[in-house]
Amino acid sequence: MKNAIGMVGLGRMGANMARRLHQGGAQVVVYNRHVDKAEALARESGMAAAGTLEALVAALPSPRVLWLMLPAGDATQSHIDALLPLLSAGDVLVNGANAQHETSIAQAAHVEQAGVRYVDAGVSGGVWGLQEGYALMVGGSREAVAAVAPFLRILAPAPDQGWLHCGPVGSGHFVKMVHNGIEYGMMQALAEGFAILKGKEAFHLDLAQVAEMWRHGSVVRSWLLDLSADFLKKDQALDSIAPVVADSGEGLWTAQAALDLKIPAPVITLALQMRWASQGHADYTARMLAMMRNEFGGHAVQKEA
Ligand SMILES: NC(=O)c1ccc[n+]([C@@H]2O[C@H](COP(=O)([O-])OP(=O)(O)OC[C@H]3O[C@@H](n4cnc5c(N)ncnc54)[C@H](OP(=O)(O)O)[C@@H]3O)[C@@H](O)[C@H]2O)c1
């Protein structure tokens, strides 16, 4: 089997990445802890499904390439621990999770002790990646990345665009972390801008039309704006959307890296803190403020309903 790859983890990312690899001519063997997902994907596409990690490893020719697309942390680590005894020297493990780069460096050292190669891959593209291709930021040795390069060329938007061997192990996840930090800042700026436009009620601005117009020729045109224009066309009041925004760790790691490196990064840091505020983490602060005003000035406090 030429050009073969094993995909471990068939969530929103892994399943579509497997589909894109398959459509691009790779021989893909898929595995998921709940095997029904792997079987469904195999039925849909003609890919091979493996019911166990042993079967997955056995189905791949040496040197094997296995791409893990799992939540960072225990899920990825436990799969690496289970796979390592099954693999041979020269095989390559790719960790495609949004993982902290220090963890990936330690993980690589452990994996490489067994003679298995390790690549840390930051993947961007979300649910659109199947159609548009993924941006891929990889770290690892030249040999390890060379073994994975045929698959990076398929996954990327174009064979020679949208993927980069950033540097040694850890650098792929570090670049992806900063990428996501930038994403926090860009999203925050766009959201604030549209909130200000909405707040200027006297002008009755049509936010969908503004977004659509900015998509053409403006310096703030971007994919995030494209997506915003799309949903604003359907609903610009957003009344049914709870004002709560999750954060998945990468913004925090970027802010922490900025502190460690003494690089001022107020936009990314504040964007992260605004997400925490949306989750209720500023509520006690606001209650304190309200009570202080009440104490020194007799200003009224609003009571919770
Ligand atoms: N979604 C995005 O836009 C995006 C973009 C870039 C990178 N990423 C990264 O890509 C990775 C996968 O993300 P995703 O969005 O595809 O996640 P997802 O849709 O939640 O899918 C997670 C996958 O991992 C498996 N899984 C979850 N917990 C597990 C555990 N404890 N042990 C074994 N398997 C487990 C799930 O298996 P079951 O189906 O059996 O539950 C599923 O196949 C994450 O590291 C994420 O940070 C995501």
Question: Does 219 score more than 70 pLDDT?
Answer: yes
Specify the higher pLDDT residue, 305 or 17.
17
Given the residues 39, 183, 212, 233, the one annotated as active site: 183
Residue 121, ligand 1, Cβ within 6 A: no
Sign of torsion over alpha carbons 231, 234, 239, 242: negative
21 pLDDT above the threshold of 80: yes
CB-CB contact of 4 with 113 (8 Å): no
Selection from 121, 127, 191 nearest residue 149 by Cα: 121
Considering the chain, what percentage of its residues have pLDDT values greater than 70? 100
Q: Is ligand 1 within 6 A of the CB of residue 69?
A: yes
Other C-beta atoms lying within 10 Å of the C-beta of residue 268: 24
What CATH number has the domain spanning 4-169?
A: 3.40.50.720
Q: Is the pLDDT of residue 305 over 90?
A: no
Q: Do 246 and 212 meet the contact criterion of CB atoms below 8 Å apart? A: no
Residue 80 Cα to ligand 1 middle (Å) = 15
φ, ψ dihedrals at 65, nearest 5°: -120, 120
- Calculate mean pLDDT across residues 274-293: 98
Active site residue 192: no
For Cα atoms 155, 181, 17, give the angle at the middle one, nearest 5 degrees.
Answer: 15
Peptide bond before 63: cis, by omega within 30 degrees of 0?
yes
Distance CA 213, CA 87 (A): 54
Is 212 tagged catalytic?
no
Token pair in block for residue 166: 């950033």
- The mean pLDDT of 26-55, rounded to a whole number, is 97
Mean pLDDT along residues 8-20: 98
Residue-level pLDDT at 166: 98
Strand pairing partners for 49?
30
The yes-or-no verdict on residue 2 having pLDDT over 90 is: no
Backbone angles phi, psi at 164, to 5 degrees: -150, 130
CA angle 167, 169, 174 (to 5 degrees): 75
Q: Which residues pair with 65 in a beta bridge?
A: 92
Task: Band the pLDDT of 126: cuts 50, 70, 90.
Answer: very high
Among protein residues, the one with the nearest Cα to ligand 1's atom 45 is 97
The answer on pLDDT for 278 being more than 70 is: yes
Is 90 exceeded by the pLDDT of residue 1? no
DSSP for residue 128: G
254 Cα–ligand 1 center, Å: 21
- pLDDT the model gives residue 185: 98
User: What are 254's two structure tokens?
Assistant: 């970027």
Predicted local confidence at residue 248, as pLDDT: 87
Domain boundaries along the sequence of the chain: 4-169, 171-191+242-305
CATH superfamily of 171-191+242-305: N-(1-d-carboxylethyl)-l-norvaline Dehydrogenase; domain 2 (1.10.1040.10)
Which residues lie closer than 8 Å to 61 by C-beta, 6 or more apart?
A: 1, 2, 4
Q: What is the pLDDT of residues 131-152, one digit of tens each?
A: 999 999 999 999 999 999 999 9
Contacts of 58 (CB under 8 A, 6+ apart): none
In b/e form, how buried is each residue of 54-72, taking b as 16+ CB within 10 angstroms?
A: eebbebbeeebbbbbbbeb
Tell me the mean pLDDT in the region 226-253.
Answer: 97
- pLDDT score for 44: 94
Number of separate helices (H) and strands (E) present in the chain? 13, 8
